[in-house]
Structure 1
Amino acid sequence: MTQVTEHGGGVWSLKVPIPDNPLGHTLVHLLDTDRGPVLIDTGWDDPESWDTLVEGLATLGTDIKDIHGVVITHHHPDHHGLSGQVREASGAWIAMHPADTQVVRRTREQVPGQWLDYITVKLTKAGAPEEHLAPIRAAREAGRMRTVPGLDSALPDRDITPGELLELPGRRLRAIWTPGHTPGHVCLHLEEQHPANLPGHGRLFSGDHLLPEISPHIGLYEDPEEALVTDPLGDYLDSLERIGRLGVAEVLPAHQYAFTDAAARVRELLEHHEERLAGLRRLLAEPLTPWQLATRMEWNRPWDQIPYGSQNIAVSEAEAHLRRLVKLGHVEAVEGTDPVRYAAVG
C-alpha cells in the first residue's frame, strides 16, 4: 500500500522505495500550484519505485500526466532518478541548481570505464590496499561500468537560482543554496503561513541537507578533470548555519519524517561535526593515510562489516574531513610520504 501523508496547505509526501538500501525510501513531495501539481524530487529509477509514485499520485486524484514541473533538491539517483520518466509522461519541466546540472552533464558524457578509472586513482592515492582495488580493476576489465546508477540521468530544463522565488504561480517557494552533500544541493523555503499555525517562518523542503536523525554523507565532489580544491565539509557547515537562521516552523526532509525546531537540529549537527573533527585530530597524532584514517573513524558498524561500496564512500568522507582540518591549519601533509600521510599540527 502506497504511503501518502498530507501536510496541509496543498503539500503531500509519498514514500517511494529505494531498492536494497537501508534508507528504505525517499519522501517525494507534491506541491499544488495554480498551474498544476509540482514534484519536489522523484525517487529512484526502478520499476517498483515508478509504480509506487504513480499509485501514490492516483490516491490523491492526480495522474502522472498532470505533473506541471519537477524541482530537484540534488542530483543523487534516489532524488533525481525518475525525473526523466516523469517528464516523458507529462511534459513537465525539470529544475536543478547549475552546479548539480554540471555533475549530471559530466556523468552523461563519460566514456565507459572513466569513472572506475577515477575511483581507482583516488583510492590508490588515499592508500587503499591492492586487495581492495582488485574488484574495481576486475569490473573495469569486464566492462561493467554501465551498472552504476545515475549514468543517464535527465538533464534539467531550468536553472534554480539561489535566493530567488521559483516560477510557481500561487506559491512562494524560495531556493536556498546549501552545498555540502552535493555542490548544487538546494533547500526550498515555502514562505507561507504554516497550515496549523505553528510558530516560525513557513516550511522547509530540506532534501538531504537537514534530516531529523541522520548526518548526511559529506565527501569530495570536485570534477576529476579539474585542479579545483573544494571544501565540502566547510560548505556544509556554512550552509547549516544559513538554514538555522531561517527560523522555519517545520522541516519536510527527503528521508525519515517531518519535524520542528530546525535550529536545535542544526546545533546538534554542528556540535557533532566539531566533536568529530576533534576526534580525528587525536587520531592523527600518528601520521595516517586517508584510508588508514577511514578504517579508524567511528562509523555505525565496525570497518570490516561495512559493505564494499560504502567503504569507498567512507574514504571520501575521511578525505573531506582531512581537507577541512588542513584548511583550518590543524593538520598538514607529511612531506615525502607516498601515499600521502597526514598528521596533527602541534
Structure 2
Amino acid sequence: MTEATQVTDHGGGVRSIRVPIPDNPLGHTLVYVLDTDAGPVLVDTGWDDPASWDTLAAGLTECGTSVTDLTGVLITHHHPDHHGLSAKVREASGAWIAMHEADAAVVRRTRENPPARWYAYMAAKLAAAGAPEEHLAPLIAARDGGRPRRLPGLDPALPDRAITPGDLLDLPGRRLRAIWTPGHTPGHVCLHLEEEHPARLPGNGRLFSGDHVLPGITPHIGLYEDPDDATVTDPLGDYLASLEGVGRLAPAEVLPAHQHAFTDAPARVRELLDHHEERLTGLLGLLAAPLTPWQLAEHMEWNRPWAEIPYGSRNIAVSEAEAHLRRLVKLGRAEAVPGSDPVTYVAVP
C-alpha cells in the first residue's frame, strides 16, 4: 500500500483504495477495483467530498486505470460513505450503477421527499421514543424553517441496474454472486467472488462484505426508516439471520468496506452473534423497570458516556435501542406497557 494514494493490491485482479470520510472516526471507506474483461468495476465509491474524489481518482491512476475507464459500480448499500460519489463516477465515465431493490427504494424516497418531511418524520419518531423537548427543538425548527438540502446523502444517485440475490452478476471474466444480507440496511448485499483465492487460502473464494461483517467493529443496526410504511420490521433479526448465512459460506478471505481484509469469517460471525446475544441479555436487565427507547439508549453501553455523545449520534443510538427492543418483543422476552405514552417497555418475567 502506498501512503500517497492508499492503494492495496489484494491479488487476482482486486485492489482497494482507502477513500477518506471527512470528520468521521471510521476514517475511510475501502473502495474495491475489480478487473473484468469489459473494464474495471468499483465496489462502492466513497463519500461525496472533493478530497475523497481526488483520492479515488489518484488511486485509480495508481491501479493503472482512471475514472473514465470504469464500466460499472456495484453498491453494497445506500449509505453516503458507500454511494456518495456514484453520481460523479457515472457522470465522468458513463458507468452503470447497480444496487439491491430494497435500497434503491430508499434512494427514490430520499430524492422524492423534501427535507422538511424527513425532519418532521424524525421529530415524530423521536418524540414517540421519549426524546426530551430540547432534543426535538432543532428538528422542529428545521422542519418549519425550510432548511435546504445540506445533509449528505439527501440527493443520491438513482441506480441503473438491480442486484438480484443469488444471481451471478454480468461481469465478463469473473464469477461474482450477489448475497442479500439485510440488517444494516434493508437492501445490503455482500458480493461473493467464486474464484480460487490468489494465495490459495482454504475456504470458498472471497467476500466483499460491505458493512455486514467488519473485523473489529459491529455495524449499526437501527430501524429501517420509511415514512410511508407502517410495517413492523425486525432489522436485528434480519442481521443475525444473514450473519449466520455468511458464516456457513466460509469464504477464504473477507474484503470489508472499513478497516482491513481478514480471514476466518466463521469465527468473526460467531463473535458478532455472541455480542448481540449478550447485549440483548443485558438490556433485559435494564428493562426490569419500564423504560422508553430514549431512556434505554441513555442506559446502554456506548463507546463514550451518554453526555458526550453528539446530537446526531444520539438519534442513531435511539434507533439501535429500538431495533433491539423490536427483537426482544418478537422473541417474547419484552413487551410494551399498555397505555404508556410515550411507550415504555418492560422485560417479560
TM value normalised by structure 2: 0.98
Match 2:268 to one of 250, 258, 265? 265
Q: Measure the CA separation in 1 of the matches of 2:22 and 2:225.
A: 27
Aligned to 1:6: 9
Q: Measure the CA separation in 2 of the matches of 1:96 and 1:112.
A: 23
Matched, 1:165 2:168: yes
Aligned to 2:85: 82
Aligned to 2:319: 316
Aligned to 1:29: 32
Aligned to 1:189: 192
* Worse overlay, 57-66 or 119-128: 57-66
SS of the aligned residue for 1:147 comes to: coil
Amino acid corresponding to residue 104 of structure 1 in structure 2: V
Match 1:285 to one of 283, 288, 294? 288
Shift of 1:18: 0.5
Summarize deviations over 1:175-223 as a string: whole Å, max 9, x none. 0000000000000000000000100110000000000001000000142
SS of the aligned residue for 1:115 comes to: helix
SS of the aligned residue for 2:254 comes to: strand
SS of the aligned residue for 2:115 comes to: coil
* Worse overlay, 221-230 or 296-305: 221-230
Shift of 1:142: 3.1
Q: Measure the CA separation in 1 of the matches of 2:233 and 2:44.
A: 26
Matched, 1:143 2:146: yes
Structure 1 gaps of 5+ residues are none
Match 1:305 to one of 282, 293, 308? 308
Aligned to 1:275: 278
Match 1:38 to one of 37, 41, 50? 41
Amino acid corresponding to residue 154 of structure 2 in structure 1: L
Q: Counterparts in 2 of 1:58-97, with a 5 A limit? A: 58-97=61-100
Q: Measure the CA separation in 2 of the matches of 1:90 and 1:52.
A: 17
Q: Which runs of 4+ in 1 moved over 4 A?
A: none
Shift of 1:336: 1.1
Shift of 1:137: 1.7
TM value normalised by structure 1: 0.99
Q: Measure the CA separation in 2 of the matches of 1:146 and 1:252.
A: 33
Aligned to 1:115: 118
Q: Counterparts in 2 of 1:95-106, with a 5 A limit? A: 95-106=98-109
Change (3 A) 1:86 1:176: same
Q: Measure the CA separation in 1 of the matches of 2:304 and 2:145.
A: 31
* Worse overlay, 144-153 or 12-21: 144-153
Matched, 1:242 2:245: yes
Q: Measure the CA separation in 1 of the matches of 2:242 and 2:191.
A: 13
Shift of 1:151: 1.3
Percent identity between the two aligned chains: 77
